[in-house]
Structure 1
Amino acid sequence: MKKNILISGGGIAGLTAAKLLSEQGHNVTVIDRALSFTKAGFLISLKSFGVRIMEELDLMEQLQAASSPSEFVSFLEKDEQLIQHISYEKMNKNIERSVLISRGGLHNVLYDNLKDQVNILFNTTISGIASRGNKTEVIFSDGQSMEADLVIVSEGLRSSTRERYFTDSQMEDFNTLYMGGRLQMEHSYTVGDFKIYIDVNKMLSIYPIANNEIAIQSYIHHTGDIATIKQRSAELLESFFSDYNIEVRDLLTRFTEEGLIFVDKMGMVEASDLVNGNLVLLGDAGYCPTALSGMGASLSIYGAKALSHFIGKTPDDLASACSNYNTLMQPIIRKFQGNARNNASSFIPADAHQLNQFVNTFRAASDIELKKIMTDPIILTEDQLNFKIN
């Protein structure tokens, strides 16, 4: 039986769910607070099961067309001393290939495929929700309303709907500032050969993704509030790396002056239950693992596939479908949030002693040890890949 499903939040998780559920025959409406669709977004790496699901959705050709080359990565100390030089092809030999793409590029692949199939309402948010037996009446910000059998909340890390209706959930401040974006400029870097600098309380990544474009990402341990940080973002970025070589300093100066920069403080969502009646949390709104997990986009796509899988199994029992989704997701959420905490401790060391310890260990690591560090943590079990609950 067809269900009326509302998805609040048209990001990667929301659009993936919309595609899967509309293909099951449900009436799907997507609302988003943005005034219109935009391709803007920072660089992400879609890995492992995220790539597999995009292939299952028959979107690999579009995904590859929107991606950037990624061949090698060099981990460096700030004085350019090499820690490790890694081949992506070699590192990913035993898992699904990794795809480097902007968040906006991935978003656009999904949106372009879906925009003519699903009703998408921009400049629209949820202003109220009322239960009507097995139905939910949703009041929109423009005063219109909709009766839904299920409301999927995929509004992102700072979801207002989660804060209002999932009062037991909380957002953990990761005390890490993210500054990233893209800069259009001719450069002498080798495209696809990346640099990642490891330092005390900070990490800087330089990604030459085209002959005339560089993506830059930085993670900085910071306890300040986001409003103040955004006002001083350019000054903070340059000051944190002021003791780096002139090439890096000049690049960051040009980035702050001419680049498209995204600034935010990272956080994790802790929700003991992703379900509240006819409402269910999806993606970063329910389980943001932060960018430091390396799997935020993949986990959003996986969550959408898991939820649609269970709805497809019991379309006339949405309560059971959502309960099974919650049961499956909770240990996976803990795994990837744990990965993020471990990566923060390793790749953003808190002091010089931890930095030296990490550099020496990472530099001496064998191929097998590197695989344990870089790829083993992002693998799911066969049961999880097949949405089986133990």
Structure 2
Amino acid sequence: MQTVLISGGGIAGPVLAHWLRRHGFAPTVIERAPGRRPGGQAVDIRGVALDVVERMGLLEQVRGLRTRMRGMSVLDPDGREIDRSTEATFSSGRLDSEDVEVLREDLVEVVYEHTRPHVEYLFGDTVTALDEDGSGVRVDFAHAAPRTFDLVVGADGLHSTVRRLAFGPEEDFVHHLGSYLSVFGADNFLALQDWQMWLRAGDTGFGIMPVRDNTELRIAFGFESEPLAPALRDGGALRQLVVDKLASMRWEGARLAEAARKAPDFYCDAMAQIRMDHWSRGRVALLGDAGYCPSPLSGQGTSLALVGAHVLADSLARAGGDHRAAYARYERRMRPYVTLNQALATENPGGPASEESVAHAKNAMSLDS
């Protein structure tokens, strides 16, 4: 039984662990955080990614957790409504679509609980070194004793440690898209009822949606910026930058700034894509955002993670122990799909991609091909 270390306990890693276990591998998932990460934006499961969830036996459970929006308002900088829709929202697309929008933390919890009985999880630790030889990869950890695995997969996001250790500096692969995104939760101080609000003012803007039966808000705040200096990318400085930008906004700026200042689930990072010529080197491969992050602007990061996990596990299962052949098949199958979905992020700067482009990209492969 081949052993596989998967770095990253979000969505891509545990889904890969599910499929590897089903194919007879022994997966171990390591996650830097002490447990499942709370918070995060609503994410979309679209097209062929829904087939992955269905084959896991989780589709009905996930559908039961979907967001329930009636529509959205678009506001001017003073909070006056300038447009509205009861047919679509910017976060999820058409409301009558078969696609499913859920909170990221809910999807993480569902997949974790589904895999926990059969997968080894190591929380609160991280990979610090990889040393490959002809028989495996010796992995050093920040806390646990070193272990050797047959294969290693980096599913550890935009700032992947595995990618840095195996392929080189992040700067060689990251392509900044000119903005940053912050996501955080708050009490529903706007009393929104299954209704989103979107506002843009110059080079900043936000979307607000109610969650948890309208008891909470999830706020996504974006601002245009070139890559920030390293001193500004640390958690405290970045949070203060977001607080200051929100405080300068005319409509609800003070309350939004205070929510950002207090939020225990505060998140902020660059809108960026990872573009690489190859997603594997030796016994190490990359999955999801670690190898081909499309950025939240595409709306397809979760779908790429789900589909990529299925295809990688399937490729390994078919390869009869030949990881080189497996990784090559994985890349052949995934790259056209990744390319189309990454393109969604840049098709319409400042707005969503067309419905036609999304429909084409989300269905651009078959799990059985």
Please give the range of the TM-score, normalised by the shorter of the 2 chains: 0.7 to 0.9
Which of 234, 237, 245 is 1:239 aligned to? 245
- Residue pair 1:178, 1:219 contacting (<8 A) in 2 also: yes
Give 1:272 shift: 0.6
Give 1:241 shift: 6.7
Which of 183, 187, 192 is 1:189 aligned to? 192
Equivalent residue for 1:366?
none
- Residue pair 2:39, 2:185 contacting (<8 A) in 1 also: no
Equivalent residue for 1:111?
112
Equivalent residue for 1:166?
167
Equivalent residue for 1:360?
none
Give 1:86 shift: 4.5
Equivalent residue for 2:293?
288
Q: Secondary structure at the match of 1:341?
A: coil
Residues 183, 314 of structure 1: CA spacing in aligned structure 2 closer, same or farther, 3 A cutoff? same
- Residue pair 2:46, 2:362 contacting (<8 A) in 1 also: no
Give 1:214 shift: 1.0
Q: Deviations over 1:110-154 (max 9, x none)?
A: 111111211111222222222231422223333623232211111
Give 1:179 shift: 1.1
Q: Deviations over 1:203-226 (max 9, x none)?
A: 310102233211110111112336
Across the two proteins, how many residue pairs are aligned to each other? 358
Give 1:232 shift: 5.2
Distance 1:270 1:371 in 2: 24
Equivalent residue for 1:228?
232
- Residue pair 1:43, 1:181 contacting (<8 A) in 2 also: no
Equivalent residue for 1:87?
87
- Residue pair 2:197, 2:209 contacting (<8 A) in 1 also: yes
Alignment of 1:141-290 (within 5 A): 141-142=142-143, 144-167=145-168, 169-185=172-188, 187-191=190-194, 193-209=195-211, 210-223=213-226, 224-225=228-229, 227-228=231-232, 230-231=236-237, 233-234=239-240, 236-239=242-245, 242-245=248-251, 248-260=252-264, 261-290=266-295
Q: Secondary structure at the match of 2:15?
A: helix
- Residue pair 1:179, 1:217 contacting (<8 A) in 2 also: yes
- Residue pair 1:173, 1:266 contacting (<8 A) in 2 also: yes
Distance 1:313 1:216 in 2: 43
Opposite residue 302 of structure 1, the aligned amino acid is V
Residues 227, 15 of structure 1: CA spacing in aligned structure 2 closer, same or farther, 3 A cutoff? farther
- Residue pair 1:92, 1:98 contacting (<8 A) in 2 also: no
Distance 2:9 2:147 in 1: 17
Equivalent residue for 1:120?
121
Opposite residue 363 of structure 2, the aligned amino acid is L
Output the TM-score relative to the length of structure 2: 0.87
- Residue pair 1:184, 1:259 contacting (<8 A) in 2 also: no
Which of 347, 367, 376 is 2:359 aligned to? 376
Distance 2:148 2:136 in 1: 7
Q: Deviations over 1:344-377 (max 9, x none)?
A: x1329xxxxxxxxxxxxxxxxxxxx96336x435
CA-atom RMSD, angstroms? Answer: 2.7
Q: Secondary structure at the match of 1:303?
A: helix
Percent same amino acid at aligned positions?
A: 23
Q: Secondary structure at the match of 2:347?
A: helix
- Residue pair 1:159, 1:285 contacting (<8 A) in 2 also: yes
Task: Judge which range, 113-122 or 224-233, deviates more.
Answer: 224-233
- Residue pair 2:130, 2:166 contacting (<8 A) in 1 also: no
- Residue pair 1:306, 1:387 contacting (<8 A) in 2 also: no
Give 1:16 shift: 0.5
Unaligned runs of 5+ in 2: none
Opposite residue 128 of structure 1, the aligned amino acid is A
Unaligned runs of 5+ in 1: 349-368
Residues 347, 201 of structure 1: CA spacing in aligned structure 2 closer, same or farther, 3 A cutoff? farther
- Residue pair 2:280, 2:286 contacting (<8 A) in 1 also: yes
Q: Secondary structure at the match of 1:335?
A: helix
Output the TM-score relative to the length of structure 1: 0.82
Residues 219, 253 of structure 1: CA spacing in aligned structure 2 closer, same or farther, 3 A cutoff? closer
Task: Judge which range, 276-285 or 217-226, deviates more.
Answer: 217-226
Q: Secondary structure at the match of 2:40?
A: coil
Equivalent residue for 1:337?
342
- Residue pair 2:49, 2:306 contacting (<8 A) in 1 also: yes
* Higher-helix-fraction structure: 1
Q: Deviations over 1:144-198 (max 9, x none)?
A: 232322111111111122112113851122331111111123542222x212224
Q: Deviations over 1:39-90 (max 9, x none)?
A: 3333323333333321221112432344332232334443534345152499
- Residue pair 1:226, 1:265 contacting (<8 A) in 2 also: no
Alignment of 1:314-333 (within 5 A): 314-333=319-338
Distance 1:133 1:232 in 2: 43
